[in-house]
Chains A and B, each alone.
Chain A
Amino acid sequence: MYTALNANKLPVLTWNRFNVNSKELHLSNEPDSAVTPKIITDNDAIKINDNRTLDDIVFSGSDKKTEAYILKNASVTKSIIVPQNSTLAAPLIFDLTLQPTDKLTGIFDISLEENSSANIMISVSSLAQSTAQYADLIRVHAANGASLKLTCLQLLGSSAVSFNNIVSRLENDAKISILQIPLGAGTALASATADLRGYHSSASIRSDYIGHLEQDIDLNYVVRHYGKKTLSDIKMTGLLSDASRKTARGTIDFHRGCKGSSGNESENVLLLSEKARNKSVPLILCDEDDVAGTHGAAIGTLDEDRFFYLKSRGIDEKAARQLFLDSAVSRLKNLLPEILAAKIDNYSKEVLFNESV
Chain B
Amino acid sequence: MSDNLLEVKNYSVASTDNVPILHSLNLTIKKGETHVLMGPNGAGKSTFGSSLLSNPAYKLTDGSIFFEKENITELSTDKRAKKGIFLSFQAPVEIPGISLYSFLRAAVKNAETPLTGKLFRKKLNEILKVLDLKQEYLERDLNVGFSGGERKKVEMLQLLMLSPKMAVLDETDSGLDVDAVNIMLKGINEFQQTDEKGMLIISHNMHILNRLKIDKVHILVKGRIVADGGSELIQEINENGFIRFENQAGDGNV
Contact = CB atoms under 8 A, between A and B. Distances in A.
B163 interface: no
Contacts of B93: 305-306, 309
B103 A312 contact: no
A304 to B, nearest CB: 6
Interface residues of A, number: 26
A286 B103 CA distance: 42
Interface in B89-138: 89, 92-99, 101-103, 105-107, 109-111
B236 interface: no
B106 A311 contact: no
A330 B102 contact: yes
A327 B97 contact: yes
Interface string A98-129: 00000000000000000000000000000000
B162 A313 contact: yes
Contact of A331 (B57, B99, B162): B99
Contacts of B55: 308
A309 B110 contact: no
Nearest to B91: A305
Contacts of A313: 81, 103, 106-107, 110, 158, 162
A239 interface: yes
Contact of B106 (A239, A270, A315, A330): A315
Interface in A294-317: 302, 304-306, 308-316
For A239, A306, A309, the residue with the greatest tally of chain B CB atoms inside 10 Å of its CB is A309
Contacts of B110: 313-315
A314 B107 contact: yes
Contacts of A314: 78, 81-82, 107, 109-111
Given A308-B56, A322-B106, A315 B78 contact: yes
Interface string A9-20: 000000000000
A309 B81 contact: no
B139 interface: yes
Contacts of B78: 311-312, 314-316
A304 B103 CA distance: 17
A196 B95 CA distance: 35
Contacts of B89: 309, 312
A323 B98 contact: yes
Q: Identify the interface centre among A310, A324, A326: most chain B CB within 10 Å of its CB.
A: A310
Given A324-B98, A327-B98, A304 B56 contact: yes
B192 interface: no
B77 interface: yes
Interface of B: 50, 53, 55-57, 76-78, 81-82, 86-87, 89, 92-99, 101-103, 105-107, 109-111, 139, 141, 158, 162
28 contacts: A239-B97, A268-B96, A270-B97, A302-B95, A306-B95, A308-B55, A309-B89, A309-B93, A309-B95, A311-B53, A312-B81, A312-B89, A313-B158, A314-B82, A314-B107, A314-B110, A314-B111, A316-B78, A319-B106, A319-B109, A323-B106, A324-B97, A326-B105, A326-B106, A327-B97, A327-B99, A327-B141, A331-B99
Top 6 A-B pairs ranked by shortest CB distance? A314-B110, A311-B77, A314-B81, A313-B107, A311-B78, A327-B102
